Each structure stands twice: as C-alpha cells, then as structure tokens.
Amino acid sequence: MDYHLTVYKQISFPKLNNLKPSLESTCLKLMEEAGELAQAVGKFRGLNGEKVDMNDKEVIELISRELLDVAQVAVSMMFVLEDTYGINIKEKLDQHIEKLIRKGYIKAESSS
Ligand SMILES: [Mg+2]
C-alpha cells in the first residue's frame, strides 16, 4: 500500500475503558452523535430556519466538538470489532485506502 500519495490527518482517540460497548450500542450512539452534528451544522447561519442565538464562531466550535464525538464513537466501534470480533482494522484501513485510490478520490502520482 502506497501511503505517500496524499497527506494524512493523524489523530489518536482513547479507548473508553470504563464502558462495555457493543456493536449495537456503539452503532446507535454513532447515529445519535451524527444527529447532533447535523443539528449543529443546521445552526450555521441559521440554515435550518430556527432562530439561532450563537454567532458563527460559536457554531463552528460546536460543529468541531460534535464531529469529534462522531469520530470517538466510530473509533470505539473499531475497538469492538477488534476486541470482540477479531477484525484487523489496519488491514481494513489498507483496503479502504485502496478503494479510495480505485475510485479516484486519491490520485496516484504519474510515474514518468
Ligand atoms: Mg455530541
């Protein structure tokens, strides 16, 4: 896998070792957090039509926090897949990146 075709955002999320997550609980939580993110985006410039008492900067801060909630739960679900179902996330990530290249979302450098 050629990981040098584009830039990467490298961030680490903790394992929530004081919870007993399952596929079901993490999936439901993911939907819930995705809903909160959508709600926050809706507040941006009052796009969802509701009266918003936050300025743009406050809304962007809220969107950032909600996005991290989504990412945290996604990572928690990855831990469940690994710990309970023996999935190798690194292997899945390699396949995921191959798919992105195949679909043309990451373009390969021309080797002249
Ligand atoms: Mg949230």
Q: DSSP readout, 74-102?
A: HHHHHHHHHHHH---HHHHHHHHHHHHHH
Is residue 32 in a domain?
Answer: yes
Is residue 13 in a domain?
Answer: no
Is residue 64 in a domain?
Answer: yes
* C-beta separation of 92 from 38 below 8 A: no
Q: Tens digit of pLDDT for each residue in 40-88?
A: 999 877 777 878 888 889 999 999 999 999 999 999 999 999 999 999 9
Look up the pTM and report it: 0.88
Is residue 1 in a domain?
Answer: no
Q: Tens digit of pLDDT for each residue in 18-35?
A: 999 999 999 999 999 999
Task: Report how far ligand 1's centroid is from the alpha carbon of 69 (Å).
Answer: 5
Is residue 86 in a domain?
Answer: yes
Q: How many CB atoms lie within 10 A of CB 6?
A: 14
Is residue 57 in a domain?
Answer: yes
Question: Domain span at residue 97?
Answer: 23-102
Task: Report how far ligand 1's centroid is from the alpha carbon of 92 (Å).
Answer: 26
Is residue 89 in a domain?
Answer: yes
Q: How many domains does the chain have?
A: 1
Task: Report how far ligand 1's centroid is from the alpha carbon of 5 (Å).
Answer: 33
